[in-house]
Amino acid sequence: MATEVQVPVLGESVTEATVGAWLKKPGDAVAVDEPIASLETDKVAVDVPSPVAGVMGQHMVSEGDTVNVGAVIAIVEEGATAAAKPAAAAAPAAAASAPAPAAAAAPAAAVEEGGAVTLSPAVRRLVLEHGLDPSRIKGTGKDGRLTKDDVMAAVAAGTAKADAAAAAPAAAAVASGPQRAEERVKMTRLRQTVAKRLKSAQETAALLTTFNDVDMSAVIEARARYKDLFEKKHGVRLGFMGFFTKAVCMALRDVPAVNAQIEGDEIVYHNYADISVAVSAPNGLVVPVIRNAEEMSVAEIEKTIGDFGKRAKEGALTMEDMKGGTFTISNGGVFGSLMSTPIINPPQSAVLGLHRIEDRPVVRNGQVVVRPMMYLALSYDHRLIDGREAVTFLVAIKNAIEDPTRLLIDL
């Protein structure tokens, strides 16, 4: 019995998606609720589960196609088995009379034909570029799938190299002279949406960025002193984002315009702080939301961010995780950024950029001393937020981070 697989409801106001990757090929066995395809929406990747157990039938659409909610994208043969397909394919394989060593030496082809390892297009590209055997890499993604981080970890460790025979064609190509290959890859729906929103922010808002720097000595000392006890009690590492998120919530309360937004000819002020935090995902940065962060402890904030980071790598963030947000924190420092001018995330009116910590000479009590310093950048919509308010906001964060006791006594 053939069962149609339809595009599920993707979230409020989301009516279409792009087929990012097929996770099952025709003839593959599938279990109930096992993901068979990955769809890319404007914000997140969504897996499409099989409604029944059986064998994957025909793909009705191709990777890269745009599909609407409710559209039929595949057929699953309910109750069938995949055992007959490999046997039926054995004769053509033998007729091809390809040498066995050559077949074994092509890990990417083995993945495609045998279905032993399911690779997304981005992961497949990395595997081929670095000459790796994906079957030798342990996947940490959902259902054991390989992620880009898994591949890069294998590259760094020098493991999972493909057999020498597989690398021979690449080596011969290098020896023949410099390569000037080009590759065209269609932008993902997420990247297209990010591009449109960022360009719209530049065209609509009166963007301005103001800077300050902050001495991280006190926070670093507090973190070093309490990180072991903190992790033992709360089961999560004590990072810097907990301190900054608490400081941001206090500053937003003191300067409410930074937490507001423009709607038509009205200004909407929020009496809550839903903080969007940028985290890295396989398809790029995503921005899930910490809701009511003003009511949370540092431990609760760290747990929430840690959960977001884990689910982002697994591609398990939902539309609800990304919805809303009144203010954004973007930490470019984890990638080594010294200074930047972040762009606001509409309809929000401001974004705080954090950067790397580095030792710099500063003057304290008339003496030149070395301190771990970080540049802070606040980009804001000047239509709503005046320069005085922006500077006051940044100074409030600076004061709270340089004297974390302020976070405890609400000062």
The stretch 365-374 carries a mean pLDDT of 95
Beta bridge partners of 363: 368
**Residue 37 CB-density burial (10 A; 0-12 exposed, 13-18 middle, 19+ buried):** buried
Alpha helices in 59-147 (DSSP H): 84-95, 100-104, 107-114, 121-130
In angstroms and rounded to an integer, the radius of gyration of the C-alpha atoms of the chain is 26
Mean pLDDT within 349-367: 94
Mean pLDDT of all residues in 179-183: 81
Residues 6+ apart with CB under 8 A from 79: 1, 52, 53, 54
pLDDT of 206 > 50? The answer is: yes
Q: Which of 193, 178, 143, 196 is nearest to 315 (CA)?
A: 143
- Rounded to two decimals, what is the model's pTM? 0.65
Chain region(s) in the chain for CATH 4.10.320.10: 104-175
pLDDT class of 112 with cuts at 50, 70, 90: very low
The pLDDT > 90 percentage for the chain reads 37
Of these residues, 65, 228, 382, 403, which one is catalytic? Answer: 382
Higher pLDDT, 281 or 166: 281
228-263: pLDDT as tens digits: 999 999 999 999 999 999 999 999 999 999 999 999
| pLDDT score at 228 | 92
Q: For residue 366, with 0-12 CB atoms within 10 Å meaning exposed, 13-18 middle and 19 or more buried, which class applies?
A: exposed
Task: Find the mean pLDDT for residues 369-395.
Answer: 95
What is the pLDDT at residue 400?
A: 94
Mean pLDDT of the chain: 81
Task: Please confirm, yes or no, whether 265 is among the known catalytic residues.
Answer: no
Which one, of 379, 375, 389, 386, lies nearest residue 350 by Cα?
A: 379
Q: Label residue 143 by pLDDT band (50, 70, 90).
A: low
What confidence category does residue 90 fall into, taking pLDDT thresholds of 50, 70 and 90?
A: very low
Q: Select the CATH number that applies to the domain covering 207-409 from these four: 3.30.390.50, 3.20.20.150, 3.40.190.170, 3.30.559.10.
A: 3.30.559.10
> How confident is residue 146, by pLDDT bands cut at 50, 70 and 90?
confident
Which residue blocks in 19-83 are alpha helix, DSSP H? none
> Which of the listed ranges 76-90, 197-211, 283-297, 366-380 does the model predict with the highest average pLDDT?
366-380
Kindly state the average pLDDT of the residues 144-156.
79
Q: Give the relative orientation of helices 121-130 and 148-157 as an angle to the nearest 10 degrees.
A: 10
From the candidates 213, 386, 403, 410, give the one annotated as an active-site residue.
386
Q: Domain 104-175: which topology?
A: Dihydrolipoamide Transferase (4.10.320)
- Classified by CATH at the fold level, domain 2-78 comes out as OB fold (Dihydrolipoamide Acetyltransferase, E2P) (2.40.50)
For the stretch 154-175, pLDDT in tens is 887 877 676 654 445 544 544 5
pLDDT of residue 334 exceeding 80, the answer is yes
pLDDT given for residue 257 in this prediction:
95
Can 307 be counted among the known catalytic residues?
A: no
Return the higher-pLDDT residue of 215 and 120: 215
CATH 3.30.559.10 region(s) of the chain?
A: 207-409
Q: Which stretch of 13-17, 115-119, 180-184, 275-279 has the lowest confidence by average pLDDT?
A: 115-119
Please give the Cα distance from 50 to 54 (Å, whole number): 9
Read off the pLDDT of residues 40-67 as tens digits, 9 standing for 90 and up. 776 667 788 888 888 888 888 888 788 8
Taking 60 as the threshold, does the pLDDT of residue 111 lie above it? no
